[in-house]
Every structure is written in C-alpha cells, then in structure tokens.
Amino acid sequence: MLIPAAVADYVAGLTHPAALVGCRLSGMSHDCCEHDIAVFGQGENAVVHVGGHIIELVHVGMAAQDVAPLGRIEVIRDSPALALSSMLQEVAPKLKKALAAFGRKSLVSSLFCQQKMKDTRHQVASAMWLKMAAYHFVQGTLALAGTRPMPLHELAQVRQAELATDAADGVQAALECIGIERATRSEIARSIEAITELKSGDYDKELTRYKAEHLLEKSMIADCYYYLGRVASESLAGRGSAFYSKYGKLVQISMDLSSDIQQLEKLQKSLFRAAKKGL
C-alpha cells in the first residue's frame, strides 16, 4: 500500500474525486515529502497534517489537458459515475506525448529566460534569469528523456537519467549556471530565510522550509541547494522588473546569485547551444 490508511481515509472523505500523484508514486520520496493529492474540482490548495503525515491538496480540472500533465495517478476517490477513471483511460495513450511537449516547452522557456538575461541591464536580474533558464533546461531535458521532473528530486533524477552526450553536457552547463558547487550550509540557511519572506503569502511556505531543513539534516547539501533555487525561481518568475530592482538583495540571497558577469555570460553561451540542440 502506497498510502497510509490515515491519508486514504482523509482523501476518501473529500467532496471531489481525488488521486495520489507526485513523488510518493515514484519510489524516490524522502520522509519529508508530502503526499501530493490532486483534487478534481474547485477549492483552495492547502497543506494539511493527518495522523503524522503531510498532505498537499492541489485542485485541478478534469479535462484531458489538466489530467495528462499529472503523469502517473493512483485514484483514491472517484465520482459515482467513475468520471476520473474513464478520463485516465482516455489520456493514458497521450501521456508520453504530453511529457515530450512539456519538455520542448521547457527548453523554449529556457531560451526565453536567456533572452531576458540579455535584455536586462540590472545585474541581479540578469543572474536570476540565467539561473531560471538553467532550471527550465534541466526540467526540459528530463522530460524529453521520458522522466517527469519532481522539484525536490530533480538533481537525483538527472544523476540517474541516461542522457545522450549533448544532453548530459547541457545538464552539466545548467548545473554550473545554478552554481551547485557553491552549496554550503550557511548559504542555504540565508536562502531559507529569504525564501520564507518571498513566500510569506503562500500556503506551502512552511512545507518548503520543512523539506529544506530535512534535507540539511540528512546532509543532502547539493539537493537542498538545488531545490531552494528552484522554489525561489518559481516564486520570482512572474514578479516583474520593478520588483527585481526594488528587492535586489532579497532576490540575490534567495537564489544565491553570482555577480561574476563574465563567467555568467560564458555559461549562458553553453546553455544556449545545449537548449538549441535539445529542441
């Protein structure tokens, strides 16, 4: 049984069809990983604690384009007419294609962020865009290799993935852009504080902090650094240039951005070539 009884009972009592998704189905999860539950209906996303387990409820629609991106799904609660199960049968043959499409879209996002890097004159924003571009590249490369990226596990996933030489070189360049070799406990501690501030209005801010601290406890320093940069990247993506200028210090600390412009420009060229080749 993949789901503890307390979690299954809780989910069975929800008003909408619901299913287990995410890393708990992958065999890669850590003790700190929540049980990701996709709830097919309207409602507020939330983190709840049930019988010593953490559940994250994410509400999604039940059309094919909502269901396919979820990847593997284990139905816990269906509607009386079994709407969820029949939708799963419908999307099953399309999952591979949907993942590949997501992969290409991520590589395009990587190129888009690299263009943003070139367009901005603000040094912190420039370093931020490159790092975002690198995360998109890693996700895209994983997806194109048939692996669904999972934020907390992406670094482990790329280490395990069997990638073609070009893709593997690209990932190497992306990890340099991310600055994985700079990961230290003290830097991570600073990032955690900055990210908690960035995410102060988010329902999952405590969960992010809890997971990062758990990885630190297990001395998974590089994984923790990668994960936090990824979370910060997602949180910052839509905030706009006025925010990046006004809160430059917060952006810099949350993503641990380098100020070595020459080095960043060199790395961008490698990442650009890799993203182009991947498309």
Question: By CB neighbour count within 10 A (0-12 exposed, 13-18 middle, 19+ buried), where does 1 fall?
Answer: exposed
Shortest separation between residue 23's beta carbon and Zn ion, angstroms: 3
Minimum separation from the CB atom of position 227 to Zn ion (A):
10
87 forms part of the interface with Zn ion (CB under 5 A): no
Q: DSSP state, 45? A: -
Which token pair is 272? 């650009």
Cα 21 → chain centroid: 14
- Token digits of residue 128: 């931020």
Cβ of residue 151: shortest distance to Zn ion, in angstroms? Answer: 8
Q: How far is the CB of 9 from Zn ion (least distance, A)?
A: 22
- Which of 30, 59 has the CB closer to Zn ion? 30
Number of chain residues interacting with Zn ion (CB under 5 A):
4
User: Are 70 and 21 a contacting pair, CB within 8 Å?
Assistant: yes
Identify whether the C-beta of residue 53 lies closer than 8 Å to the C-beta of residue 6.
yes
Helix pair 261-278, 123-144: axis angle to 10 deg: 30
- Closest distance to Zn ion from the beta carbon of 65 (Å): 24
Closer by beta carbon to Zn ion, 125 or else 199: 199
Q: Which lies closer to Zn ion via its Cβ, residue 26 or residue 85?
A: 26
Tokens 């993935």 — which residue?
161
Question: Nearest 5°: phi and psi at 237?
Answer: -50, -45
Q: Which is nearer to Zn ion, 69 or 248 (CB)?
A: 69
In angstroms, give the least distance from the CB of 26 to Zn ion. 8
Find the farthest-apart pair of alpha carbons in the chain and give their distance in angstroms, rounded.
61
Per-residue contact flags (x/-) with Zn ion for residues 8 to 47, judged by CB under 5 A: ---------------x-----x---x--------------
Residue type, 241: S
For CA atoms 194, 195, 198, 200, give the dihedral sign.
Answer: negative
d(C-alpha 259, C-alpha 87), whole Å: 49
Nearer to Zn ion, 35 or 136 (CB): 35
Local structure of residue 42 (DSSP, 8 states): S
Binder to Zn ion among 37, 132, 152, 250 (CB under 5 A)? 152
Q: How far is the CB of 233 from Zn ion (least distance, A)?
A: 18
Q: Which is nearer to Zn ion, 33 or 127 (CB)?
A: 33
Residue nearer to Zn ion on the CB measure, 219 or 263: 219
Applying CB under 5 A, the residues found at the interface with Zn ion are 23, 29, 33, 152
